[in-house]
Amino acid sequence: MKRIKAGHGGTLDPLATGMLPILVGEATRYADYGLSEEKSYTVSLDLSFQTDTLDMEGEVTARFEPLPQQPEKAELEKVLKKFIGKLEQIPPAYSAIRVDGKRAHQAARQGKPLELATRAIEIKDIQLLAFEFPVVTLHVRCSKGTYIRSLARDIGLAMRMGGCVTRLRRTSTGGWPEALMVSMDAFEKAGADCMMPLSQWLRDLHRCELSADEARRFLQGQRLQVDESFHGEASVFCHDILLGNAELKPGMKKMVLHPVRILPSAQEYFL
């Protein structure tokens, strides 16, 4: 029996639930497109304590209760506004980031946490959904590479308290709506009926249409002169059949289509 490749377009923390795009077969060639996309989360964090993992999976390292005076909602909203925009963020010690070839979480579990460099991220939006001290619930829209556990930690620090993540759910990757999510139970029952075509995964790319003769040449790896004004990455089609993706670059007289990835299923159809 032939094995079918499968991959995913992004990872989730052990505590997290929600959207995790799964790519099957030749679609795995495009898994990196999910890693670079904007993501959205709903997160609950507890200001009264903190752990070494920054979530409920770890050991408590500090407690901030009882307080002489509980923070007001207005104070929290003021703090949240400071985290919207481009930021430098320190990833959690318990993360999959590699430093000198070693995973940060492996070093942390051995009692030898690595010194992690800050990384540039962007918090596009933060909405305060609920605040009943000590629990804060937020909806966060952010760039790739953002650690929500680190964001919760930093919000807590700005409030002079903890910020331990107690609940985390990814609600969107790359603008895909939450309604498209399918549970493992539903997938086991419906199988392929739950799956979407690869063309939908590449929906944000410029679409370039070829004739059947051009398609055959493209699938042989040839560069093509095309009547296009667009400059950049494009998905390539012939009669609604996805052939692969390419780069459109200026040529002497026309734009030139440079093949990048070619799909074997399209080669079987046209060649």
Distance (Å, rounded) from C-alpha 244 to C-alpha 3? 22
Angle subtended by helix axes 73-81 and 148-158, to nearest 10: 120
Euclidean distance between CA atoms 31 and 35, whole angstroms: 7
Choose, from 13, 46, 55, 154, the residue flagged as catalytic.
13
Residue 269 CA to its chain's centroid (Å) = 33
- Rg (the chain; Cα; Å): 23
Q: How far apart are CA 230 and CA 207, in angstroms?
A: 10
Answer yes or no: 13 catalytic: yes
Among all residues, which ones are annotated catalytic? Answer: 13
